[in-house]
Chains A and B, each alone.
Chain A
Amino acid sequence: MATIEKPEHQYVPEQFIPDPGPDSILSPGHDYGTVTDRITGVVYNPFKKSPKKWMVGAFVAFCFVNLLALCVCVLFLRGVGIWGINIPIAWGFAIINFVWWIGIGHAGTLISAVLFLLKQDWRTSINRFSEAMTLFAVACAGMFPILHLGRPWLFYWLLPYPNSMWLWPQPRSPLEWDVFAVSTYGTISLTFWYVGLIPDLASMRDTAPHLWQRQIYGFLALGWRGSAIHWHRYQKAYLLLAGLATPLVLSVHTIVSFDFAVSQLPGWHTTIFPPYFVAGAVYSGFAMVLTLIIPLRAWYNMRDMITLRHIDSACKLMLGVGLIVAYGYGLEAFFSWYSGDKYESFMYWNRATGPYGFTYALLILCNILIPQALWSRKVRHNLALVWIISIIVNIGMWLERFVIVVTSLHRDFLPSSWGMYIPTKWDWGTYAGTIGFFMLLIFLFVRALPSISIFEVREVVHHEAHLANEKEHA
């Protein structure tokens, strides 16, 4: 077990119980000061003393960011012809990746907002981190539709602004709804994240070892001083933001699904799409939370705050949402048979047994069959297995979008207009590049900001102290 280097200026207790087990969200023995030191210690730890794995990870991610820059430059020079897209498959990786990334973002909002409204105390240690994940995933998602535009430098044509031609966007189109939904989602996620950070930035302003750090955190903390009246308004604002973010997250993925469902294409034109897309988004998002948090809690020795209880709850939620997704697949098959429409039934037959049939088989394996292992408590408590399953679900959810986009488009009504889609190295490069971009932002985030909400953990400490008191008196 790696131990954190103890900075000279502050007190970090040496002995922590590594993991309090699946029944507790915080190790005993913590007080208001130790949780602060523990969480800020990760940030104050001198850069040169970062864990080796962090260094290697950040470097690899940085290499992929350069790959992204290369792919985007070539795209700007030569146009979208470098990708595998063609007619009939005009929507290739760009849309697949867009939907995949947006979906990953959704679990962050769900953990922060929905679990907050439902008063689930286990959200406390992972909400800050998942909100950051949301922001970075939305940044990656936002890139793809713009890169797909053909002339990305004219992206502002999507926005309704008074121009010399007096032309306005088409507000009846789901693609225009998307512009509003995704930009609102990005803005509100940033607001929610920043509001949550303000009190912790104030803690860092008052404890950071270097003047320049105190200046930066002080500037961002806006002069927060923890007044009781400020807290009162703060809590109200936070509650309202959570209440607004919850329908927002549902609306965003519903609108993303409308991009498909409003069209006439067999395989896209289905009423099940909105709930099925939202469930899929949450599914992949929880998978990404687990993929990221399992290694990070080990590297930074955060086992006392991100406990087996968190992992276990996230696994159960992932399993539950996964079953809704499975129900969606079932209904798709049912519709294609029950509609009696020959194009619908051909679409389904082609999806399962056509040239892309292997992707459908893999999708069922990754998204439905393998995650059933999570029913077992033993599997949920085996971190290595959970991590592998979370990656499998991520791959499965990406395949789902591939299947929806490509198999529906490549063989539609007229056999004379059928075609095949083969992604090129530039498709793969751009995709891998955004993963690198996302990972680099995550790596920088854990070094620069408190990745666990400090003041909310203090509330947990207070709560647990009260519980202990009551037990003593009883």
Chain B
Amino acid sequence: MSHAEILDETPAIHGAMVEFDDPDTLLEACERAYAAGYRKMDAYAPMPVEGLAEAIGFKKNKVALCVLIAGICGATLGFTFLEWISGVAYPHNVGGRPLNSWPSFIPITFECMILFAGLTSMFSMLAMNGLPKPYHPVFNVEAFRRASVDKFFLCIESTDPMFRPHDTMHFLGSLGGKEVSIVPA
């Protein structure tokens, strides 16, 4: 059966999914799926599993870069703002100190850096993860409710060039998991 024929007779699907009982089997399954040539896939776990993202081919984590840039921006903005307040906007003599008394601006500069960097670490993580996302096809699978409790899932997506519903489901079934199911889009 060709890909086009399947699409003709079945409704749109997001992918195929298999369920596991423990993280170690999932990790092994991901490595095997990647070795078999699948690229568009995602693994789901109720807790972080070491090496799982790398196993499905994830390489670039840009959160740290965003946080670094935000921290530098925060510190620069904070310091410039204080210089502007005390040198330009409202210059006045405090106990004979120079208008540019920069050492006393450091605490606020530091706080601005932490504030910008800290907020960015949350928001950049959420943005790059595409959250908040109220609807996602994986939730259509009834068993997926336990993906946030005690079950582990591997989903090969239909956008993968190697995706053939029948073959892919067969392949997923051979990975030592439990139930294999189609994920409706």
Point out residues on A near B: beta carbons under 8 Å. Answer: 31-33, 36, 160, 166-172, 174, 176-177, 180-181, 184, 187-188, 191-192, 194-195, 199, 202-203, 205-207, 222-237, 240-241, 244-245, 247-248, 251, 255, 258, 455-456, 458-459, 462
Contacts and interface: CB of A to CB of B under 8 A. Distances in A.
B44 A228 contact: yes
A401 B95 CA distance: 29
Contacts of A251: 107, 110-111, 114
Given A187-B115, A191-B121, 11 more contacts: A33-B149, A172-B97, A174-B107, A181-B107, A184-B111, A188-B114, A192-B118, A223-B135, A228-B44, A229-B58, A251-B111
A3 B101 CA distance: 63
Interface string B107-122: 1101110110111011
Contacts, number: 194
A203 B46 contact: yes
B64 interface: yes
A371 to B, nearest CB: 32
Interface in B37-69: 42-49, 52-53, 55-56, 58, 61, 63-64, 67
Contact of B47 (A171, A181, A455): A455
B133 A223 contact: yes
Contacts of A258: 107
A408 B133 CA distance: 56
Given A233-B125, A237-B124, A225 B119 contact: no
A237 B122 contact: yes
Interface residues of B, number: 62
A225 B110 CA distance: 35
13 contacts: A31-B150, A191-B121, A199-B148, A206-B147, A222-B126, A228-B49, A231-B47, A233-B61, A233-B128, A244-B114, A247-B110, A455-B47, A458-B47
Given A206-B145, A236-B64, A241-B122, A222 B111 contact: no
Given A228-B53, A455-B48, A236 B114 contact: no
Contacts of A230: 129, 131
B107 A235 contact: no
A65 B144 CA distance: 43
B47 A199 contact: yes
A269 to B, nearest CB: 15
Nearest to B151: A32
Interface stretch (B6-14, B81-89, B160-168, B171-179): B81-89
Interface in B89-111: 89-90, 94, 97, 101, 104-105, 107-108, 110-111
B149 A222 contact: no
Contacts of B56: 228-229
Contact of B90 (A168, A225, A235): A168
Given A187-B118, A245-B118, A32 B150 contact: yes
Contact of A231 (B49, B133, B136, B145): B49
A458 B147 CA distance: 13
A249 to B, nearest CB: 10
B107 A180 contact: yes
A240 B101 CA distance: 31
